[in-house]
Amino acid sequence: MLYLIRHGQTDWNLMNKIQGQYDVPLNDTGRGQAINVTDKLSRLNLEYIISSDLSRASETAQIIGNKLNIRVDYDARLREYDFGILTGMTRNMLDPNSEQAFFTNPTHFNAESFEDAFVRVGKFLESVDYNKNILVVTHGGVINFILCYLENRDNFQPYMYYQKCLHTKINNSAILRIKNLESGMSILKNTHFFALPKSK
């Protein structure tokens, strides 16, 4: 079973800034979220943790790993999507035309192509052992790509990711789970989240 959580809160989360791959640390609330979520995680018999190497995720993972006494490994494939020159902007700074231009061709904004991000996330998902209980600590954008991968696999459409970006909002420290690559993603009971779409 693969369990996933989004990293704890950062100051940029509070300011609604686009973080991308900029290395924004946790704030005190985020550290508290990482501590609090271990109560739920302690019941899952986790064997180890795999985390994005960006500090907001890696610190979340280290806090959990230290409290549960399990090891943490790092995988750059779990880094947040790279938003290029949009990094550091607030969402309300983007007018509809700029947003549409970005989702039409993100590489014009020095951002990662959607296809490249989809491939790296897919390769990670294909590499893990679903017979083990593994916790993955990652980012909201990566969780969106995981949803797209579970629903579309080799038939990735950038517009599908565009829809997920707009409509899937996972709280900091929400816990999700994937039984295997043939299953959808579900939310662990009593974990807060917003509008997770159902898998097809």
What token pair was written down for 61? 């993972």
Strand pairing category for 72-74 and 134-138: unpaired
In single-letter form, the type of residue at position 167 comes to H
7 in active site: yes
Edge-to-edge strand list for the sheet holding 175-178? 72-74, 48-51, 134-138, 2-6, 175-178, 185-187
**Distance set, CA 140 to CA 67, 69, 71, 108, 114 (Å):** 24, 26, 23, 23, 15
Q: Closest by alpha carbon to 125, among 146, 140, 139, 141?
A: 146
Distance CA 169, CA 172 (A): 9
Q: CA-CA distance, 144 to 159, in Å (whole number)?
A: 12
- Encoded tokens for 3: 């369990």
Q: Would residue 167 show up in a list of annotated catalytic residues for this protein? A: no
Catalytic residue among 7, 59, 112, 139: 7
Task: State the angle between helix axes of 28-41 and 55-68 in degrees (0 to 180), rounded to the nearest 10.
Answer: 40
Catalytic residue among 47, 59, 80, 115: 80
Please identify every residue annotated as catalytic. 7, 80
